[in-house]
Chain A
Amino acid sequence: MHALANPARFLRLARPATAWLLLIGLVFAVAGMAAGLTLTPPDYLQGETVRIIYIHVPSAWLGMAGWLGIASAAISQLVWRHPLAAVAGRAVAPAGATFAAICLITGSIWGRPTWGTWWEWDGRLTSMLVLFFLYLGYIALASAERERGGEGRVTAIFGLVGALNLPIIHYSVLWWRTLHQGESIGLTGSTIDSSILWPLPLTMVGFTCLFAAAVLMRMRAELAEAKVEARMRRLGA
């Protein structure tokens, strides 16, 4: 990670990586969604609505992974003073917020025909909604701190404190057995039949690559904006 501390070296890697991530992400996401919509059988209980998992599960994973990225960037910034850590944290936040929103919306749409309700103040749903609001708070705080010319330390601390919500989201289905079903996919296996499960890794890889591409593009934008600001300051001096 310290090898990427130099913005010029980071940009040399980020430029080709952005294009490759976009291409791979598009191919995998489209293939996974097309397979999920047309090639898999309906579930014996949920029927056709099970097809929503090919979007809902990757967005839930990326909503949570995004905040893990923010927390890692915060540690890099506070402990090692990595010069790109604050930029990375700010770049991850809009992508994480988008996927947390997709998770909430697709979950709600899935809930109406399956549970008979759009929304329930269940542990998993509520903690995911809290994550979405944490993203909005992080974006607002980062923007305010940047306008004031701060180093982003308060934002980094907020990112670390917000990470406490991640285990709450993960274990919510065990701690509060309300409406959301328990873990369907674990490290050792899945309760979902393989005939339904197989397109899920495709959309997981696809949306993860698109998420990474969005983060790299935001980082490149921030670095270019910083370059313009620095040059304008020099010209004005």
Chain B
Amino acid sequence: MNPWPFVIAAYAAGIGLSAALIAWAFASMHRAEAAADALKRK
């Protein structure tokens, strides 16, 4: 059994899910802080 497809799948899952977590956390922080700043300026 060729092991490389398994290794690549594991890395893709690990990198993909970590990147999705970071992107979601960053987007939600950016959105919330922008809304708070906009309200403060009003």
B33 to chain A, nearest CB (A): 5
Q: A95-B21, A218-B29, A220-B29 are in contact. Are A113 and B1 (CB under 8 A)?
A: yes
Residues of A within 8 A of B13 (CB): 102, 105-106, 109
Q: Are A217 and B26 in contact (CB under 8 A)?
A: yes
CA distance A52 to B10 in the complex (A): 6
CA of A58 to CA of B20 in the docked complex: distance in angstroms? 17
Evaluate contact between B14 and A106: CB separation under 8 angstroms: yes
Q: Decide: A224 near B36, CB < 8 A? Known: A49-B6, A55-B14.
A: yes
Verify if A214 is at the interface (C-beta below 8 Å from B): yes
B29-A109 in contact (CB<8A): no
CB closest chain-A residue, reference B19: A210
Counting CB contacts under 8 A, is A47 at the interface?
yes
Which one, B7, B33, B35, contacts A48 given CB within 8 A?
Answer: B7
Contact with A along B14-33 (1 / 0, CB 8 A): 11011011101110110111
At the interface, yes or no: A71 with Cβ under 8 Å from chain B? Answer: no
The answer to whether A98 touches B11 (Cβ under 8 A) is no
Q: For the complex, is A207 an interface residue (Cβ under 8 Å from B)?
A: yes
Give the contacts of A27-67 with B (CB-CB under 8 A): 29, 33, 37, 47-49, 51-52, 55-56, 59
Offer 12 A-B interface pairs, CB within 8 angstroms, sorted by A. Answer: A37-B11, A48-B4, A51-B7, A56-B14, A94-B21, A98-B21, A102-B18, A105-B14, A112-B6, A113-B6, A220-B29, A220-B33
Which 7 pairs, one residue from A and one from B, show the smallest C-beta to C-beta distance?
A224-B32, A55-B14, A217-B25, A48-B3, A224-B36, A221-B29, A217-B29
**Residues of B bordering A, CB below 8 Å:** 1, 3-4, 6-7, 9-11, 13-15, 17-18, 20-22, 24-26, 28-29, 31-33, 35-36, 39-40
